[in-house]
Amino acid sequence: MKSNHQICEVIRQKLQFLRKQKNWSLEKTARKIAVPSSTYRDWEKTGKISAENLVKVAQVYHVSLSFFSAKPDTGSENVKKAIYYLEAALDSLSSL
C-alpha cells in the first residue's frame, strides 16, 4: 500500500506533466480551473489537493481520476473506491 507521501508525489508529478503537455503557464491553468495561481502552484509543489479540486483538474485536462494513481491496480481499496465514486459523480455532472 502506498503512503500518503507517495500518493501526493504521484499527483504532483502528474499535475506538472499535464500542464507542461498542454504548454500552459501556471496562471493559465489556474484560470481554467478557477483557482488562484498560488493555489495551483501549491498543488504542483506538494501534490496535496482535495477530491473536489482533483475532479475540476480532471475535467479541465479531460482525463479520468484514475490517471492520478500510479497504476489503477495499485493502492488501497479505499482509494480505489474513492476514485470510482468521484468518477461516477463527474459523469453525472457532465450529463447536466
Domain 4-94 has CATH 1.10.357.10: no
For the record, the C-alpha cell of 5 comes out as 507521501
Q: CA–CA separation, 24 vs 21, rounded Å?
A: 8
Q: Are 35 and 7 in contact (CB under 8 A)?
A: no
pTM, rounded to two decimals: 0.70
The 10s digit of each residue's pLDDT in 53-89 is 999 999 999 998 888 875 544 455 666 666 666 666 6
